[in-house]
Amino acid sequence: MKYQLGQFRRRSIVFFFDFIMVICAWLGAYWLRFNLSTIPTFYLTSAVKLLLPVALVQVAVYLYFGLYRGDWRYASIPDLMRIIKACVVGACLNFLVLFLWVGLSGVPRSIIPLYGILLVFCLGGGRFTYRKIKERGNLFSDSKRVLIVGAGQAGESIVRDMLRDPHCHHFPVGFVNDKHHRIGEEIHQVRILGKVRDIAHIAKKHNVELIIIALPSASASKMRRIVKYCSETKVPFRTLPSVKDIADGKISINKVRAVSIEDLLGRREVSLDLAQIKGALAHCKVLITGGGGSIGSELCRQVARVNPDQLIIVENNEFNLYNIERELGQEFPNLAAHFCLADITDKIAVKQILQQYKPDIIYHAAAYKHVPILESQIRSAVVNNIKGTQTLAEEAANIGIKEFVLISTDKVVNPENIMGATKRVAEIFCQNLNEYSDTKFITVRFGNVLDSTGSVIPLFRQQISEGGPVTVTHPEVTRFFMTIPEAGQLILQATVMGQGGEIFVLDMGEPIKIRDLAEQMIELSGHGVDEDIDVTYIGLRPGEKLHEELFHSNEMLMSTSHNKILRARHREVDWKEFLNSLKKLDAICQSMDTKDLLSCLLALIPEYKLSNKKSSMKVVKFSPLLEEQP
């Protein structure tokens, strides 16, 4: 009731204002007609006599065009267009009424157009003046002084939002923009003050308290450059979500967020054939091993979204299985999901699960992946990464599962660590088993995943929160990175493209220096590098390479129908001899002989390079060696 009374009172005031403007415009037209001098008595009497019918006609036109539906605080171009239409139509109707009533006696011919023009200025001017007063009134004395980076559509929307929102408490002091010809221009009376490189100087000169980066489509390199200049100011800075995240198309001050490391490493939006993926998975039973891990859990989420017939999750970590079960239960209550606490090296459990659920597709994400730890845990790496994959793949082939997708890593290329060597053996096994089975075996290979369990990002974040130092292995070490969702999406896309036997290599973009990553994370936290938090170098850890590679030089990389997925030629081997070598590897695992395990891996993977610590080890030759193809 209170709201209705308030609305009635507001509309009454607006109606009264518009009525008064009709009087002003009508009499003003006569005044202009007589050159701003005294209006002759005859014409003045006529103007007053005709004022009431003119006003009634005009008010009727106001109502027809809905001039009272808009809020003056948000007066805009559409409102102005509505006013113009109402004034033009009103003037024409008044001309017709006066012509039929008095034959335009006492109404000079110029009065009607002058009246229409004046009325547009009176109504529009009143509304826009009120909006401007309200906008300026919203700039409280305690408002934060904000500098906007980017004078495009996003920047304009942010400023307009600040000026309109009475509860915003942000005052835009200016823009920065790298287009030189735009410097000095104004947007909503807020000036473009300089270029991005001038941010520090402008922030100091105008006492800026917050910087907003309004460039939702900026590239990673551009974001890194902007963040570098923002960090120099010691002023907090925020950014807008990416274009794909602004689903409703509205950019507002309420959407700004802290700049994340993903913004600086920059992965462009992945374009997927969603119809193809849904068509391939929607009516399938999908099994995911390692479903509680970083990649496995993301695959679970993305597969759940296409509503498969069943989703079977195999995980040997009880807590991880509990977490993914709870998450999927909350987000996808109607999903037919089964959760199995099992180890892929347990042949009996694997066989029972596959026979019970008979999945159509297996995503094999279960693996040991921590490079330095596995250097001293060779047997565990071999058993899990090689024997586990072999067990799962052979049972899948025996049961006749349609598709088996091995999730691999860039560390298999010219491996220098146990993790890479064991995963490379798993790759070779799956690629060649494809020739002896009706099951399609597909390998998907990619690099590091941002924020995955055990990755460098969580470690740096923890070290920064503890005040440092942030430890980097080597000043020149580089790694490929992609986000967890992107990895999951591209794995699904590669799945529907595969015909069996392929190695799909995901485009990881340019490698990132870990040193730069550490420095950027320190700056994002609001600290200065080597001022507040130090970066220290501790040397490469066991098994670590200075630079990773995504494919071997002999793999003959080829393009595919997707611009972010490449295909590498797999290596063919003598299948019987390869199986004999795996049997020997299995036998050595039973004896716990670490030296022989290494020797066997060297025989299986000729490009495997031992670190200096292991290079003096005698190599036991297995017959035959699996030579690289030219």
Last residue of a domain, one of 113, 136, 159: 136
The secondary structure of residue 510, as a DSSP letter, is: S
- Whether residue 613 lies inside any domain: the answer is no
What is the structure's pLDDT at 68? 61
One domain, residues 438 and 524: yes
In whole angstroms, give the CA distance from residue 601 to residue 155.
57
Identify the residue whose tokens are 């974001």. Answer: 223
Indicate the number of domains in the chain.
Answer: 3
One domain, residues 87 and 196: no
pLDDT band (50, 70, 90) for residue 446? confident
pLDDT band (50, 70, 90) for residue 621? very low
pLDDT band (50, 70, 90) for residue 429? very high
One domain, residues 413 and 380: yes
pLDDT, tens digit (0-9, with 9 covering 90-100), for 262-300 = 667 655 555 566 777 877 788 899 999 999 988 899 899
Neighbouring residues of 8: CB distance < 8 A, sequence distance ≥ 6: none
In whole angstroms, give the CA distance from residue 208 to residue 205.
8
Query: Two tokens at 82?
Result: 């509505």
Can you give the residue range of the structural domain that contains 455?
A: 274-604
- Whether residue 193 lies inside any domain: the answer is yes
One domain, residues 311 and 217: no
Residues in the chain: 630
- Among 16-25, 389-398, 619-628, name the most confident range: 389-398
What is the structure's pLDDT at 247? 45
One domain, residues 589 and 572: yes
One domain, residues 103 and 76: yes
One domain, residues 310 and 443: yes
One domain, residues 148 and 132: no
One domain, residues 131 and 153: no
In whole angstroms, give the CA distance from residue 227 to residue 392.
47
The percent of residues above 90 in pLDDT, for the chain, comes to 20
One domain, residues 288 and 398: yes
What is the pTM assigned to this prediction? 0.66
User: Residue 624: is the preceding peptide bond cis (ω within 30°)?
Assistant: yes
One domain, residues 29 and 159: no
What is the structure's pLDDT at 390? 95
One domain, residues 319 and 229: no
- Whether residue 628 lies inside any domain: the answer is no
492 burial type by CB count under 10 A (0-12 exposed, 13-18 middle, 19+ buried): buried
- Whether residue 621 lies inside any domain: the answer is no
- Whether residue 619 lies inside any domain: the answer is no
Q: Between these two residues, 15 and 227, which has the higher pLDDT value?
A: 227
What is the structure's pLDDT at 131? 63
In the predicted model, what is the mean pLDDT of residues 385-393? 95
What is the structure's pLDDT at 75? 52
pLDDT band (50, 70, 90) for residue 439? very high
Task: Using the predicted structure, report yes or no on whether residue 249 has a pLDDT greater than 60.
Answer: no
- Whether residue 267 lies inside any domain: the answer is no
- The C-alpha angle 511, 548, 538, rounded to 5 degrees, equals 90
Identify the residue whose tokens are 């999945």. Answer: 359
- The C-alpha angle 515, 257, 469, rounded to 5 degrees, equals 30
Query: Two tokens at 270?
Result: 């992945």
Q: Between these two residues, 509 and 463, which has the higher pLDDT value?
A: 463
- Whether residue 337 lies inside any domain: the answer is yes
8-12, 61-65, 219-223, 484-488: segment of lowest average pLDDT:
8-12
Residue 537 sits in a domain whose CATH number is 3.40.50.720
In whole angstroms, give the CA distance from residue 156 to residue 162.
10
- Whether residue 614 lies inside any domain: the answer is no
CA 441 to chain centre: 31
Q: Between these two residues, 106 and 384, which has the higher pLDDT value?
A: 384
pLDDT, tens digit (0-9, with 9 covering 90-100), for 114-162 = 877 877 777 766 666 666 665 555 544 557 888 989 888 888 888 887 7
